[in-house]
A and B are shown apart, each in its own frame.
Chain A
């Protein structure tokens, strides 16, 4: 108790002494790591000719344009476009620019090839949404200026590649033409624009590339109707499917004359069933047709006849054709054989010739090959060699050359969906410290070096050695649990339905698993991963049982698709069990009960609000039924603007139900008026948050009791106009209403209107307070508000005598059914930044003061002390309040540059920040993810409960030894002197 009091005062002292958290330059990388990714590659352009640095330009599904080193896979440069700015295509122009078309043909940009600086940007205003194409013709010149053709929004635009100036524009939307393809006629300035009007008419425009004038226009009809799936086969031929998808239409437009031929697909490929799809590949005089789990490669003869060249399994991937020497085309085909991957490069003109045939061994956890891009080079023996860039099912990127994987990039980690943590295994006997620390000599040498550093005796070489030693201290990357709880496993679920375990020490991948039950199958067409939850956390059997996690997925993106559950061992990364497709999953509620094997009980709510209990055991059912009268949940119907509360009614009564299914009963509802309020944001307290004290000591020896309940919900609604982007509403139309709702009874505890404020709202709920961030239209600034709620029903418990006699209600269990007596305090402050994510630090016991972690628009993480957002701040705080730590009122919150957790780094495309308490009370672990990953350790009130890591024990030892020696020497001296005195 005394220690706790002491630590409390120490904490108070330290928190007053230091509000900002900052680190020195040489501490960078000691406890933080940063990983840079690009995401799943969708386009790749190689740049290898006549350049010292061989590179490949890629654009990804995470809207990243990057230049990668072809030798090592490192990022030369990278540009992350906005969330709504998806890339439609990239090309090289003039040999020095990368041209990118994005936002469905809305924006055209040129990037400098060596360093990624943006050279120019042109905004293309289209008239209606359409397909988007980017075309960089090789020899189309106007006054020594190469043209770039971009099609988007129904308009074809020619842009100068030097400065991005628009040269001409041709609008096709006015002619209600749905443009399907834009091609350049080889060796001339003529551009062909091909498209449909309605479903039966085919139009072809010949356009002069230099000035945009229409040279020739021809239409043709096909009564069967075209589907919108088209493909350019060669310079003068287009392939399309008819509406039914069973007939192949070839459109020959040589010399502007249109000739339409039809051929039933079954004539070509024989029997098939299901959907037919033309693969968007440019294969020269060939095209690929995907039907019935097979890909048929169909070649077009010079006479216009169609022949099947090859049929391969649909798990194969085919590259675009690559011209490599006079008129020769190379096409790569990658398919799986047993555990290996076969890479074949064939001659496009003659499918029977293999230019290359290699077998590559690829880790099975990477799944199937999704995409392949090839590039040619001249071998030392002057023959043609090929390298292939392969995108795998888990979004990783591999470079294959000479039958080997040259490098791999784990770009699946750019699309993290959810994160949870588990502890590492307990250190067992037999694994001694010295084994990890190599040997005693090294240990001693390290300490001597450190000592030299502290005593300023170290040479620059020594300093480098010390820094290197600190950075790769083996201590932090050990595979066992540590005393402070800094070492953990981050279990990360990505969009590619792959689970990774990352070590918090250095961010390396411990294991990865492509979840088998979440892979594409007949029962499940487009599986998606949703969330990951800790399933089993062994405490009693921590030595011999492994923790496990629950991964929840769905068969389709829609909410009512059947769910899939997978249970994965957190140490070995193997799937223990899976079930699915099962009932649909709307919500997963981890219950605060565990069974005898320490599996946590989970209630999965489906779209009919029925609850399904997991694990499916008699024991779990017994525990659940005992507690079922106290289980409540709620659903938020964002579209309807209704929040409903439910409780358990009884077992399911519908057919094919089992004992683990429970019917809901409606308990309460809150209906927001649809014409004036729309739900835009909600927040709840974290279930694993620990609150250290219920009472808050105010100045003047006053006491207030926090209203602490996990059953609270913060809801922000805005007027329908104000729920969109800033600028869509005037201050008079905009209003923001915030609510605090009890989720057991549906009581509205607090309700407040911010006039003239609007979305976006980001909120965080912790202990007894909510902080939310929104835009104030009247002040033209972002604001952050805080609401703190206090319980008045306990306010009388201030008397010591009452506490001693026992006349207090502190030990009475609180019930949501009691009428709450709540006092709320609120205050608003201006805040400079717009915010991407907001969270709060969590510590093991909740003693340490809290900091808000704000993901800023600049993709950094800012730590802001909660004390700045105290509703009790006033202009002139009294002496007592100052002692308590109340900061005088300011109208805006300070942004202290030293308190950026990410220091000089950027977490590109930041999506969320999570915090996990360490075992050490002062410290919390912070993980921020977006396209990049960033991890660090944070001590909001400094590490008051432990010595720093670089504390020099050797120096302490040396000082003690020196002191003892000095004592001995002086003692001998004094003895001797005394003796001499006596002899005198």
Chain B
């Protein structure tokens, strides 16, 4: 086990993603962008089963990984289900005890002659191609199988293109969105694939958290017509009380000038002593000159 981890660690360094990364899988983030979030119409690179996906070093915290396998079964029209491929995923156990699936990989068995024949029959009859997965990956099939079907005529492009979106909740699989990766307009035309091999795209999807309801501490009143009567911003002290301040200022100014004038008048009329007292400051200046 340790050896394996060492190799994984080395592989990671070689791939060049040795930077310290968040523990969360980036696959989930990619899917989040694809679904749900508004305004993102960008094409998403799919996790192709053949592509080498960078694996991450096991971090030092107590969360542990283990590998898990579960099988995909398929049926042609009303036939019995038979094994069609294997999903491999990492089961991550979090320190709180919760378990999640990450890093889903899928390898499909190649179609046998008999299966090819059956598939052709489906295409001719515009019948359903059905798949199923266990609803619990730890002890399959769980309570029941997750079944999904698609009209067989939707799948052929060059090869047979299929697209899985597996909705999980911990170790449970809730549902699988299965179908063609693109459009499948009605009426469906009969088209045989040039290559009898499946191109599979798989996505693992977990639930999204609802955005929190905004809580405003400020009371905002809504008028009858729907417009919001936003309380006007708090005005500055000056803006609020200018009508009182200006008269007050005028009065003060007036009083001051009067107070200035009074001693002058007194000085002028009552003799020099008072005037000297009032005009003590200018006198030395005059002298300096």
Evaluate contact between B183 and A793: CB separation under 8 angstroms.
yes
Contact yes or no, A752 B184, CB < 8 A: no
When A665-B78, A747-B179 are in contact, do A817 and B213 touch as well, CB less than 8 Å? no
Question: A361 in the interface, Cβ–Cβ < 8 Å?
Answer: no
A509 at the interface (CB under 8 A from B): no
Contacts of A647 in B (CB 8 A): 128
B143 nearest CB neighbor, chain A only: A671
CB atoms of B210 and A826 under 8 A apart: yes
| Chain B residue at minimum C-beta to C-beta distance from A665 | B78
**Bound Cα distance A16, B226 (Å):** 8
Q: A745 CA to B186 CA in the complex, in Å?
A: 14
Q: Is B225 in contact with A671, judged by CB distance below 8 angstroms?
A: no
Q: Would you list which residues of chain B between 150 and 171 have a CB under 8 Å from chain A?
A: 150-151, 154, 163, 165, 167, 169-170
* Chain A CB within 8 A of B148 CB: yes
Residue of B nearest to A796 (CB): B41
**Known A-B contacts A665-B78, A672-B174; A813 and B211 likewise in contact (beta carbons under 8 Å):** no
Bound form: Cα–Cα A752–B225 in Å: 33
Given contacts A822-B35, A889-B214, A894-B222, 9 further A-B contacts (CB under 8 A): A673-B135, A746-B148, A747-B179, A750-B36, A817-B184, A819-B184, A867-B226, A887-B226, A890-B216
Please state if A819 and B163 are interface contacts (CB–CB under 8 Å).
Answer: yes
Which residues from 723 to 758 on chain A have a C-beta closer than 8 Å to any C-beta of chain B?
A: 737, 741, 745-748, 750-755
Interface residues of B in 178-199 (CB under 8 A from A): 178-186, 188
Count of chain A residues with Cβ under 8 Å from any Cβ of B?
A: 69
Task: Tell me if A693 counts as interface (CB < 8 A to partner B).
Answer: no
Q: Which residue of B lies closest to A795 (CB)?
A: B41
Pair B175/A896 contact, Cβ less than 8 Å:
no
Does B224 contact A896, Cβ atoms closer than 8 Å?
Answer: yes
- Please encode chain A, from 671 to 691, with 1 for each CB lying within 8 Å of some chain B CB and 0 for all others: 111101100000000000000
Which residues of B from 68 to 102 have beta carbons under 8 Å from A?
Answer: 78
Contacts of B185 in A (CB 8 A): 812-813, 815, 818
The answer to whether A745 touches B150 (Cβ under 8 A) is yes
Please state if B143 and A783 are interface contacts (CB–CB under 8 Å).
no
| B118 CB within 8 Å of chain A | no
Question: Which chain A residue shows the least CB distance to B177?
Answer: A747
Residue of B nearest to A647 (CB): B128
Q: Is A829 an interface residue (CB 8 A)?
A: yes
Greatest chain A CB density within 10 A among B128, B149, B227 is at B149
Which of A649, A673, A745, A792 is B78 in contact with, Cβ under 8 Å?
A: A649
Q: Which residue of A lies closest to B169 (CB)?
A: A673
B128: nearest residue on chain A (CB-CB)?
A667
**Inter-chain contacts of B78 with A (CB < 8 A):** 649, 665
- Using A19-B225, A673-B169 as known contacts, say yes or no to A818 and B209 having CB atoms under 8 A apart: no
Cα separation A898 to B130 with both chains bound (whole Å): 55
Given contacts A642-B144, A752-B208, A828-B213, contact A817 B175 (CB under 8 A): no
Q: How far is the CA of A629 from the CA of B153 in the complex (A)?
A: 14
The distance in angstroms between the C-alpha atoms of A649 and B37, with both chains bound, is 39
Query: B169 near A668 (CB under 8 angstroms)?
Result: no
CB-CB nearest in chain A for B142: A671
Q: Which 3 A-B pairs have the closest CB atoms?
A: A673-B172, A747-B177, A817-B184
Q: Are A890 and B135 interface neighbours, CB within 8 A?
A: no
> How distant is A11 from chain B, measured CB to nearest CB, in Å?
15
Q: Given the complex, which residues of A lie within 8 Å of B173, measured CB to CB? A: 671
Q: Could you give, for residues 887-928 of chain A, a 1 whenever the CB lies within 8 Å of some chain B CB and a 0 otherwise?
A: 111110010101000000000000000000000000000000
Residue from B38, B142, B213 in contact with A783 in the complex, judged by beta carbons closer than 8 Å = B213
Say yes or no: A827-B208 contact (C-beta < 8 A), given A672-B174, A818-B182. Answer: no
| Contacts A/B (CB < 8 Å), 17 sampled | A649-B78, A667-B147, A673-B174, A737-B207, A745-B178, A747-B165, A747-B178, A748-B175, A748-B177, A753-B207, A755-B210, A823-B38, A826-B210, A829-B213, A887-B222, A888-B220, A891-B216
In the assembled complex, B39 has its CB within 8 A of some CB on chain A? yes
Contacts of A829 in B (CB 8 A): 213
Please tell me if the beta carbons of A667 and B149 are within 8 angstroms of each other in the complex: yes
B residues 249-285 touching A (CB-CB < 8 Å)? none
**How far is A754 from B209 in the complex, measured between Cα atoms in Å?**
6
Q: Is the CB of B183 within 8 A of A815?
A: yes
In the complex with contacts A669-B146, A891-B216, A18-B225 CB distance below 8 A: yes
Q: How far is the CB of A701 from chain B (nearest CB, A)?
A: 16
Q: Which of B202-246 contact A (CB under 8 A)?
A: 205, 207-216, 220, 222, 224-228, 230
Residue of A nearest to B216 (CB): A891
- The docked-state distance in angstroms from the alpha carbon of A673 to that of B144 is 10
Most chain A beta-carbon neighbours within 10 Å: one of B35, B126, B151, B210: B210
In Å, the complex CA distance between A888 and B147 comes to: 44
Would you call A394 an interface residue if the criterion is a C-beta within 8 Å of the partner chain's C-beta atoms? no
Tell me the B130-144 residues at the A interface (CB within 8 Å): 130, 135-136, 142-144
- Tell me how far the C-beta of B109 lies from the nearest C-beta in chain A, rounded to whole angstroms: 22
Question: In the docked arrangement, what's the CA distance between A258 and B242, Å?
Answer: 100
Say whether B174 contacts A752, CB under 8 Å: no
A396 at the interface (CB under 8 A from B): no
Which B residues touch A793, using CB under 8 A? Answer: 183
Q: How far does the Cβ of B241 sit from chain A's closest Cβ, in whole Å?
A: 30
Once bound together, how far apart are the Cα atoms of A823 and B41, in whole Å? 9
Chain B CB within 8 A of A88 CB: no
Q: How far is the CA of A887 from the CA of B180 in the complex (A)?
A: 40
Q: Report if A776-B210 is in contact (Cβ < 8 Å); known contacts: A817-B180, A818-B180, A819-B180.
A: no
- With A and B bound together, what is the CA distance between A342 and B158 in angstroms? 84
Instruction: Tell me if A823 and B39 are in contact (CB < 8 A).
Output: yes
Q: A945 within 8 Å of B by Cβ?
A: no
Determine which of A677, A737, A812, A825 lies in contact with B38 in the assembled complex, contact meaning CB atoms within 8 Å.
Answer: A825
**A666 contacts the other chain (CB 8 A):** yes
Q: Are B169 and A888 in contact (CB under 8 A)?
A: no
* CB proximity of B121 to chain A, nearest CB, Å: 16
In the bound complex, what is the Cα–Cα distance between A367 and B205 (angstroms)?
A: 59
* B-chain residues with CB within 8 Å of residue A667 when the two chains form the complex: 128, 130, 147-149
A32 within 8 A of B: no
Q: Which of A821-879 contact B (CB under 8 A)?
A: 821-830, 865, 867-868
Query: Does A17 belong to the interface (CB within 8 Å)?
Result: yes
The smallest C-beta distance from B188 to any residue of chain A, in angstroms, reads 8
If A665-B78, A745-B177, A815-B184 touch, whether A751 touches B207 (CB-CB below 8 Å) is yes
Assembled-state Cα–Cα distance A817/B127 (Å) = 13
- Tell me the nearest residue of chain B to A776, going by C-beta: B213
Contact across chains for A890 and B147 when beta carbons are under 8 A apart: no
Structural contact, B211 and A817, CB atoms closer than 8 A? no
- In this complex, the member of B154, B173, B214 whose beta carbon has the largest number of chain A beta carbons within 10 angstroms is B214
- Mask, A636-670, CB within 8 Å of B = 1, is 00001010100101000000000000000111111
CB distance from B246 to the nearest CB of A (A): 35
- Distance in angstroms between the alpha carbons of A750 and B126 in the assembled complex: 28
Q: Which residue of B lies closest to A676 (CB)?
A: B169
Contact A865 B179 (CB under 8 A): no
Q: What separation, in Å, do the CA atoms of A898 and B224 have in the docked complex?
A: 9
A668 to B128, CA, bound (A): 11
User: Whole-angstrom distance between the alpha carbons of A737 and B126 in the complex?
Assistant: 36
Chain A, range 744-774, C-beta contacts under 8 Å to B: 745-748, 750-755
* Cβ of A831 to closest chain B Cβ, rounded Å: 10
Whether a CB of chain B sits under 8 angstroms from the CB of A20 is yes
Report B39-57 CB contacts with A as 1/0, cut-off 8 Å.
Answer: 1110000000000000000
B213 & A779 in contact (Cβ 8 Å cutoff) = yes
Nearest-CB residue, chain B, relative to A821 = B41
- Rounded to whole Å, the gap between the CB of B178 and the closest CB of chain A is 8
Contact of A890 among B142, B181, B222 (CB under 8 A): B222
Closest residue on chain B to residue A745 by CB atoms: B179
Closest residue to B213 on the A side, CB-wise? A828
Residue in B36, B148, B227 whose CB lies within 8 Å of A745: B148
A785 at the interface (CB under 8 A from B): yes
